[in-house]
Structure 1
Amino acid sequence: MRKILPLALTGLLAVSACQFAGGDDPGDEAHRLNTMESFPLHAYVPDATSRDGKAVGTAQWILAKRCMVRLGFTGFRTLDIRTVESTYPVRQGTFMGGGKVGDDSPYGVDDPGRAAEHGYHNVVRDESAGQPMEWPADQYAALTGTFESRDSHRAHGHPIPAKGCMGEAFRRIYGPEPKPAKIGGVRLSGYYSLPVQYWYQAHKQARKDPAWKKAEREWSACMKDKGFHYSDPDQASTDSDWFRGDEPSEKEKKTATADARCKLDTGFIQAVHAVESRAQKTAIGKNEKALDARLADDRRAMAKARKIVDDAS
Structure 2
Amino acid sequence: MLPLAVTGLLALTACQFAGQDDPADDAHRLNTMQSFPLHAYIRDPSSGGGKSIGKAQWILAKQCMVRLGFAGFATLDTRNVESTYPVRQGTLAGRGTTGDDSPYGVDDPDQAAEHGYHNRNQEGSSQPQEWPADQYVALTGTFDSGDSHSAHGHPVPEGGCLGQATRRIYGPPPKATKVNGVKLTGYYSLPLELWYEAHKAARKDPAWKKADRAWSACMKEKGFHYPDPDEASLDTAWYRTEGPSGKEKETAAADARCKLDTDYIATVHALEARAQKTVISKREKALDGMRAADERAVENARTIIDEES
Tell me how far apart the structure 1 counterparts of residues 123 and 63 of structure 2 sit (CA, whole Å).
28
**Cα offset, 1:87, TM superposition:** 2.8
Q: Is residue 33 from structure 1 mapped to residue 26 from structure 2 by the alignment?
A: no
Tell me how far apart the structure 1 counterparts of residues 268 and 216 of structure 2 sit (CA, whole Å).
14
Distance 1:194 1:52, change over 3 A: same
Tell me how large the CA RMSD over aligned residues is: 1.7
Out of 245, 256, 276, the position equivalent to 1:260 is: 256
Say if 1:99 and 1:247, in contact at 8 Å, map to a contact too. no
Say if 1:181 and 1:187, in contact at 8 Å, map to a contact too. yes
Q: Is residue 190 from structure 1 mapped to residue 186 from structure 2 by the alignment?
A: yes
Say if 1:215 and 1:268, in contact at 8 Å, map to a contact too. yes
Out of 209, 222, 227, the position equivalent to 1:231 is: 227
Aligned partner letter, 2:98: V
**Cα offset, 1:185, TM superposition:** 1.6
| Partner deviation per Cα, 1:173-212 (whole Å, 9 max, x = no partner) | 0001100111112111111000000000000000000110
Q: Equivalent residue for 2:10?
A: none
Out of 49, 53, 65, the position equivalent to 2:46 is: 49
| Partner deviation per Cα, 1:56-99 (whole Å, 9 max, x = no partner) | 00000000000000111111101111221413211111134467
| Partner deviation per Cα, 1:218-275 (whole Å, 9 max, x = no partner) | 0000000000000000000000110001110000000000000000000000000000
- Gapped regions of structure 1 (runs ≥ 5): 5-18
Tell me how far apart the structure 2 counterparts of residues 235 and 37 of structure 1 sit (CA, whole Å).
24
Q: Is residue 215 from structure 1 mapped to residue 211 from structure 2 by the alignment?
A: yes
| Partner deviation per Cα, 1:284-307 (whole Å, 9 max, x = no partner) | 111100000000000000011011
Q: Is residue 86 from structure 1 mapped to residue 78 from structure 2 by the alignment?
A: no
Tell me how far apart the structure 1 counterparts of residues 130 and 20 of structure 2 sit (CA, whole Å).
48
Tell me how far apart the structure 1 counterparts of residues 18 and 53 of structure 2 sit (CA, whole Å).
44
Q: Equivalent residue for 2:7?
A: none
Aligned partner letter, 2:306: D
Q: Equivalent residue for 1:205?
A: 201
1:1-313 alignment runs, 5 A limit:
3-4=2-3, 22-97=19-94, 100-125=97-122, 127=124, 129=126, 131-313=127-309
* TM-score (structure 1 length as normaliser): 0.91
Aligned partner letter, 1:181: T
Tell me how far apart the structure 2 counterparts of residues 266 and 300 of structure 1 sit (CA, whole Å).
45
Secondary structure of the corresponding residue to residue 247 of structure 1: coil
Say if 2:106 and 2:120, in contact at 8 Å, map to a contact too. no
Aligned partner letter, 1:257: A
Name whichever of 273-282 and 85-94 sits farther off. Answer: 85-94
Tell me how far apart the structure 2 counterparts of residues 73 and 31 of structure 1 sit (CA, whole Å).
46
Aligned residues: 297
Q: Equivalent residue for 1:14?
A: none
Relative contact order (alpha carbons < 8 A, sep ≥ 6): 1 or 2 greater? 1
Say if 1:61 and 1:85, in contact at 8 Å, map to a contact too. no
Say if 2:88 and 2:130, in contact at 8 Å, map to a contact too. yes
Aligned partner letter, 2:105: G
Percent of aligned positions with the same letter in both sequences?
69
| Partner deviation per Cα, 1:33-74 (whole Å, 9 max, x = no partner) | 000000000000001000110010000000000000011111
Say if 1:20 and 1:26, in contact at 8 Å, map to a contact too. no
Secondary structure of the corresponding residue to residue 228 of structure 1: coil
Say if 1:206 and 1:279, in contact at 8 Å, map to a contact too. yes
Tell me how far apart the structure 2 counterparts of residues 291 and 220 of structure 1 sit (CA, whole Å).
37
- Gapped regions of structure 2 (runs ≥ 5): 4-15
**Cα offset, 1:123, TM superposition:** 3.8
Distance 1:292 1:271, change over 3 A: same
